[in-house]
A = this chain, B = another copy of it.
Amino acid sequence: MLSKKTKYAINALVFIAKNKKDEPISVSRISEEHQIPLKFLETILTELKNARIVNSTKGKYGGYSLNQTPERIQMAKIIRLFDGAIALLPCVSENFYGRCEKCIDEETCGIRQIAMEIHSETVKRLKAATLADIIKREEKLKK
């Protein structure tokens, strides 16, 4: 399951992306709109900023805006940033590889093979799921 942090991050990004004027959006604005605790959301946006997904404008009338086009912001990246590995097992993870505890032989592990297949399928979909894609889906669903 995705953590609240990841879900809040996705909601915030969708909210920022939907804003057509190119003025930055403040944390307090997103916080009110989505009922996300202000201070918690602040740390989330700081992480997104450190990952160069958004950038910030300081001072009055400041806030956050996207640092990449919505087409380039993939859910795979957001999830990895906040929740870590997407894989079911560390031994099939691309970005957070690790051996399983007490694994006898990775090469002949049956459950590993299954995890690999699920992983590649899931990652493929989470890379296709960009901010732009999500917004397009929502527009379609609203009709």
A138 in contact with B110 (CB, 8 Å): yes
B10 in contact with A111 (CB, 8 Å): yes
Q: How many protomers of this protein does the assembly include?
A: 2
List of B residues within 8 angstroms of A117 by Cβ: 125
List of B residues within 8 angstroms of A121 by Cβ: 118, 121-122, 125
List of B residues within 8 angstroms of A88 by Cβ: 1-2
Kindly report which residue of chain B lies nearest to residue A10, judged by CB atoms.
B111
Per-position 1/0 for A106-143, Cβ under 8 A of B: 01111101100110011001100100011111100110
Best-surrounded residue of A35, A110, A138 (most CB of chain B within 10 A): A110
In the complex, A44 has a CB within 8 A of chain B: no
A102 in contact with B134 (CB, 8 Å): no
In the complex, A54 has a CB within 8 A of chain B: no
Seed contacts A75-B114, A113-B137; 13 additional CB < 8 Å A-B pairs: A1-B85, A1-B90, A2-B88, A7-B89, A7-B101, A14-B110, A34-B102, A36-B102, A110-B137, A111-B129, A117-B125, A118-B122, A121-B125
Q: Could you give 6 example pairs across A and B, Cβ below 8 Å? A: A7-B89, A7-B111, A36-B102, A75-B111, A75-B114, A118-B121
Q: Which residues of A contact B (CB under 8 A)?
A: 1-2, 4, 7, 10-11, 14, 34-36, 75, 84-85, 87-90, 100-102, 104, 107-111, 113-114, 117-118, 121-122, 125-126, 129, 133-138, 141-142
